[in-house]
């Protein structure tokens, strides 16, 4: 039986071109290599799963390949990875420093990738300072961390710093689409949208969620199945609840909320999502802000249509009411009532403006 390799490993980018969403960084690195301006100590910082280790490995391979004919020679043996989370003592760093002195046997550089570098002990950091300041010519250090603020200034000032960005929902979605296609998995665009949203800026998470969902849903990812599997309140719920708000249909609103709770969703999760839904309707109101609407092309029209039914001042108040309910939720003794009240207030809000403003009636 063929062994299953998780997508995050199987699809680790092999060249800078394949790295998604970090163009500023990859371009800077490519230029630095081409112009021989690469610093010897680099610090890659940013959230988890956005390509720091991946870029460090690509860089390590690329600088060693320069001047070699065989592009497949990967010089993996010139790349040393140290996980500072589990090797954080002075002795670990001293061992490393001893190794650093010895030049590589083939290729030009030995590249040391120190992951989670913020975990090094204070003594280990200090032992490392001197080497970092005057490394041998054949050594390049790439320090990677999710927590730049924990790195002492003396280390920071010796490194060229690269701030990796969170992956946007769109970039994550497009990458997932490529991965899905290459695995023969068919999908609705909205299904990938939900996965990308859930991953919250981390590509590794997007790929692991994708694997999980495929093993649950099989090779056809529908929006509904993915939302159900990930316990995400689908935007359909919000469109429906908002329609009931517009119709001032309080009984059905209370029933809809009951249904949401009965399905096991959390009340606060619902309210937070409702506030975001109103915000999404708000950005539909102006062509300049439509680009801020992060939903799939397939569904945009549903949002536009609903936005037409709500005045922008009503939307501002609606966002305020939902947001206030969200803020009060944790401290409330009766959370269900709090959300129900919020829904009733929202319903009366559209009712009141209709009275005040007969254009809508």
What are the C-alpha distances in Å from 348 to residues 229, 253, 318? Answer: 35, 12, 11
Compute the least distance from the CB of residue 120 to ligand ATP, in Å.
Answer: 15
Q: Which stretch in 51-59, 151-159, 220-228, 294-302 sits in contact with ligand ATP by CB under 6 A? A: 51-59
204 binds ligand ATP (CB under 6 A): yes
195 binds ligand ATP (CB under 6 A): no
Using the CB atoms, write b or e for 245-258: b if 16+ within 10 Å. bbebebeebbebbe
Among 25, 38, 50, 321, binds ligand ATP (CB under 6 A): 50
Rounded to whole angstroms, the Cα distance separating 71 from 171 reads 29
In the complex with ligand ATP, which residue's Cβ is closer, 19 or 221? 19
Among 124, 159, 207, 281, binds ligand ATP (CB under 6 A): 207
Q: Which stretch in 18-26, 216-224, 230-238, 268-276 sits in contact with ligand ATP by CB under 6 A? A: 18-26
Orientation of helix 335-356 relative to helix 250-262, angle to 10°: 150
Map the footprint of ligand ATP across residues 77-106, applying CB under 6 A. none
Q: Which stretch in 9-17, 240-248, 260-268, 317-325 sits in contact with ligand ATP by CB under 6 A? A: 9-17
Task: Count the residues of the shown chain that bind ligand ATP, applying the rule CB under 6 A.
Answer: 24
Compute the least distance from the CB of residue 27 to ligand ATP, in Å.
Answer: 14
Question: Which residues does 184 contact at the CB level (< 8 Å), separation at least 6?
Answer: 219
Give the tokens for residue 143.
């320090």
Compute the least distance from the CB of residue 4 to ligand ATP, in Å.
Answer: 15
Among 21, 135, 201, 267, binds ligand ATP (CB under 6 A): 21
Could you tell me where the DSSP H helices lie in 200-334?
Answer: 203-217, 223-229, 235-246, 250-262, 267-283, 297-308, 312-329
51 binds ligand ATP (CB under 6 A): yes
Rounded to whole angstroms, the Cα distance separating 7 from 12 reads 8
53 binds ligand ATP (CB under 6 A): yes
Q: Which stretch in 52-60, 238-246, 332-340, 353-361 sits in contact with ligand ATP by CB under 6 A? A: 52-60
The partner residues of 140 in beta bridges, in order of sequence, read: 111
Instruction: Report yes or no: 280 and 315 within 8 Å, Cβ to Cβ.
Output: no
Compute the least distance from the CB of residue 14 to ligand ATP, in Å.
Answer: 10
26 binds ligand ATP (CB under 6 A): no
Orientation of helix 297-308 relative to helix 235-246, angle to 10°: 10
């023969």: which residue's tokens?
Answer: 184
In the chain, DSSP assigns E strands to 41-45, 79-83, 110-115, 139-145, 160-163, 186-187, 220-221
Q: Rounded to 5, what percent of the chain is helix, strand, coil?
A: 60, 10, 30
Map the footprint of ligand ATP across residues 283-342, applying CB under 6 A. none
Among 17, 37, 48, 101, binds ligand ATP (CB under 6 A): 48
State the residues that interact with ligand ATP by CB under 6 A: 8-9, 11-13, 19-22, 48-54, 115, 144, 146, 167, 175, 203-204, 207
């Amino acid at each position: 039986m063929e062994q299953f390799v998780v997508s995050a490993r199987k699809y680790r980018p092999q060249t800078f071109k394949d790295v998604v969403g970090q163009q500023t960084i990859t371009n800077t690195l490519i230029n630095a290599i081409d112009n021989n301006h690469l610093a010897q100590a680099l610090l890659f910082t940013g959230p988890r799963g956005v390509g720091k280790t991946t870029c460090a490995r690509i860089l390590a391979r690329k600088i060693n390949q320069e001047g070699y004919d065989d592009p497949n020679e990967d010089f993996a043996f010139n790349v040393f990875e140290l996980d500072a989370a589990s090797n954080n003592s002075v002795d670990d760093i001293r061992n490393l420093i001893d190794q650093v002195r010895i030049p590589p046997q083939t290729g030009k550089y030995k590249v040391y990738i120190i992951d989670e570098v913020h975990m090094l002990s204070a003594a280990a950091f200090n032992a490392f300072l001197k080497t970092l300041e005057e490394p041998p010519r054949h050594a390049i250090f790439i320090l990677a961390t999710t927590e730049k603020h924990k790195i002492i200034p003396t280390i920071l000032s010796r490194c060229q710093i690269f701030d990796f960005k969170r992956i946007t929902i769109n970039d994550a979605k497009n990458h997932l689409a490529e991965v899905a296609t290459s695995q023969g998995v068919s999908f609705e665009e909205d299904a990938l949208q939900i996965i990308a949203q859930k991953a919250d800026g981390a590509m590794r998470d997007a790929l692991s969620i994708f694997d999980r969902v495929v093993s649950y849903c099989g090779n056809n990812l529908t929006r509904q199945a993915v939302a159900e599997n990930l316990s995400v309140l689908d935007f359909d719920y919000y469109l429906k609840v908002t329609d009931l708000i517009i119709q001032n249909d309080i009984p059905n609103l209370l029933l809809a909320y009951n249904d949401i709770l009965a399905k096991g969703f959390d009340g606060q999760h619902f309210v937070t999502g409702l506030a975001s839904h109103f915000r999404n309707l708000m950005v539909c109101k102006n062509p300049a802000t439509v680009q801020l609407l992060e939903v799939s092309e397939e569904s945009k029209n549903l949002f536009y249509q609903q936005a037409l039914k709500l005045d922008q001042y009503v939307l501002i108040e609606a966002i305020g009411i939902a947001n206030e309910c969200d803020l009060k939720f944790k401290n409330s003794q009766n959370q269900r009532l709090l959300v129900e009240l919020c829904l009733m207030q929202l319903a009366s809000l559209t009712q009141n403006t209709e009275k005040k403003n007969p254009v809508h009636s």
